[in-house]
Chain A
Amino acid sequence: MKTVALLATLLTGALLLYGTKDFAPWADPQSPASTHLSAYYIENAVKETHVPNLVTAVLGDYRGYDTMFETVVIYCAGLAVVSVLRRRKS
């Protein structure tokens, strides 16, 4: 069983590593991510949100849905730990 698990892990790892071959190279200005979204954010974020910090603007406004679920994940982790471990009545 252990061998099967090890083989499955290695195979998945190899597949993932093989997949990275098709990624755009680092800092390539012509990659799709740099030509569409990033350019829009850089040009319009301050104008549209009045937030000088671009990272906060993307995190809190353009990608707010994503950030919301990041918070919910942390919240669920806390709930799980409290409900599994807590033994004292509060």
Chain B
Amino acid sequence: MKTLQQRYEGRGLGHDLIIQTSVRLMVPFIQLFGLYVIVHGHYSPGGGFQGGVLLGASFILLALAFDIKMSMRHFSERINLVLGNTGALLFVGTGVLCALVGGLFLDYSALTALFPMDAIEWRSFGIFIVEVGVGLAVASIMLSLYWDLSSNGDLEEGL
């Protein structure tokens, strides 16, 4: 790890105009596509896991082409942790909520008691809520894993 960081400083690895420009152009499209994959998971191949990985990878790409500070300016450490917790809580919370309003655990049709909508529509919408939770958790945890593992945990300078 140490030698890699020294090489990084010595030869200016990663600071390449072509790479930085192309990453700058690509990242918004990757993020948009990630959101599309999460939201469109009902109708086409996709879902929370795949879309979350795309979202997380876009910020990892920023960190690789520029540095960790750059990716943390766009997606701060605190927001990252909050979103990771929110994602996991959204999934478990939906399940618990279903049980609280009188159904079985994760039986989304029970949520008609909260908001009057067709039970089958709720089952479809419940899947969507849960997928958003999965996407948030996966994106932020992936990013957190990269940040911490690549910078030895001090979030100062990574690979």
Could you say which residues of chain B place their CB within 8 Å of the CB of A49? Answer: 120, 123-124, 127
Smallest CB–CB gap between A67 and chain B, Å?
7
Interface residues of chain A: helix, strand, loop or mixed (majority): helix
Cα A85 to Cα B155 in complex, Å, equals 10
Cα A61 to Cα B107 in complex, Å, equals 8
Task: Give the number of chain B interface residues (Cβ < 8 Å).
Answer: 44
Query: When A and B form their complex, what is the total count of cross-chain residue pairs whose Cβ atoms lie within 8 Å?
Result: 107
Beyond A53-B44, A60-B131, whether A78 also contacts B95 by CB under 8 A is no
* B43 beta carbon closer than 8 Å to chain A: yes
Q: Please tell me if the beta carbons of B153 and A60 are within 8 angstroms of each other in the complex.
A: no
Interface residues of chain B: helix, strand, loop or mixed (majority): helix
Smallest CB–CB gap between B41 and chain A, Å?
5
Which A positions have Cβ atoms within 8 angstroms of B?
48-53, 55-57, 59-61, 64-65, 67-68, 70-72, 74-75, 77-78, 81-82, 84-88, 90
Q: Please tell me if the beta carbons of A56 and B41 are within 8 angstroms of each other in the complex.
A: yes
Q: Please tell me if the beta carbons of B45 and A55 are within 8 angstroms of each other in the complex.
A: yes
Q: Which of A65, A78, A84 has the most CB of B within 10 A?
A: A78
